[in-house]
A and B are shown apart, each in its own frame.
Chain A
């Protein structure tokens, strides 16, 4: 499979528009980025003020189970913060159980995001059609070796911009 499959020459000035029909049909086409300047600048602003919004996936998969064990190990060695009891107490254990469960759920969520990587545009388009409800503005999708960010997600339409357009 060609890594550049389906990518236009002027990709860094283009966004990818995916349109989903009611019967499961999918079409996608490229549009000049200038047509989506408002969405792009909104996302640029929100990522400037809130760095947590866009999460660039690392190439190495995370081991959430190991991270969970490490979390408990670190948490149980430290005195818990207010208002929890003494070290090694019931309150301390409950605190660590809660804290590490939160981190575990966050890790699983990111792992799902990291799996949004597709060899070609049409594979990405198919996955996005089936997961329209979950797609949010700011979600990163890797397709045909290029990192895209979702700049608009609405009924039957998802717009992806190459991440470079946001920098």
Chain B
């Protein structure tokens, strides 16, 4: 499956307007940004596989202990297909670390958790979850319902994969005038190409730096195509500096 993030954000924007809230407290905006955070940090395919666990009827490979499940992650797997395991009844989806492609497990919450949990350790996230549950009463179509569900699972995915702090620092930097930090820095193109070809599932959407220049990592799981595309400099964009927001 693939995710149309722009369409999803449009729906969340409309629902936010319908719910109404004072400026600065738009909790559905946090949910919309969660989708963008996942995309732009190279976690898109991990998230797609996580989502697949909710729609797949098939039963995952079961293990009695976490050690057995961890050992199974060392076995060869096809990175184009989603994988999941179960450890004593709890389901996990298999993700690939963005940096080296090491496989890791992301816990799949059960139905009760999806409808009731509050995460006291992450107030921002639990507020966003509450707002999404509230928003699901305002959806007009099956597509809108799916968008709200996907955004809800995006928040859970960030929590379960231990990225809450990274997400919060992304939110804090959002309006600053700083360039995104690269995932990795390489001295030469050759080193970067070696990394890209050795990665079992390159983090599509992440940025790396090669000899001081910014590059995007592109990976198509359908065709297996892997690319490093250099991002244009300000001069190439005919800009002398980053644009200012003076037209509002």
Contact = CB atoms under 8 A, between A and B. Distances in A.
B131 to A, nearest CB: 13
A81 B13 CA distance: 10
15 contacts: A65-B229, A68-B232, A72-B236, A79-B248, A81-B6, A83-B33, A83-B36, A88-B177, A89-B177, A90-B176, A97-B231, A98-B36, A101-B218, A105-B225, A109-B225
Interface in B58-90: none
Interface string B230-248: 0110001111001111011
A76 B237 contact: yes
Given A72-B231, A108-B227, A97 B40 contact: yes
A11 B229 CA distance: 43
A112 B222 CA distance: 13
A108 B225 contact: yes
A93 B180 contact: yes
A73 B232 contact: yes
A55 interface: no
B10 interface: yes
A79 B29 CA distance: 17
B220 A105 contact: yes
A21 interface: no
Interface string A39-72: 0000000000000000000000000010011001
B113 interface: no
A2 B9 CA distance: 54
A97 B207 contact: yes
Interface residues of B, number: 42
Interface residues of A, number: 32
B178 A90 contact: yes
A95 interface: yes
Interface of B: 5-6, 9-10, 12-13, 29, 32-33, 36, 39-40, 173-180, 204-205, 207, 216, 218, 220, 223, 225, 227, 229, 231-232, 236-239, 242-245, 247-248
A108 B216 CA distance: 14
Contacts of B173: 90
Contacts of A68: 229, 232
Contact of B9 (A81, A89, A94): A81
Given A94-B40, A101-B216, A87 B12 contact: no
Top 9 A-B pairs, shortest CB-CB distance: A88-B242, A86-B245, A91-B174, A83-B32, A85-B175, A87-B245, A73-B237, A88-B243, A82-B13
Nearest to A82: B13
B36 A69 contact: no
Contact of A104 (B33, B229, B248): B229
A89 B243 CA distance: 8
Contact of A90 (B32, B175, B229, B232): B175
B30 to A, nearest CB: 8
A65 B227 CA distance: 12
A71 B38 CA distance: 22
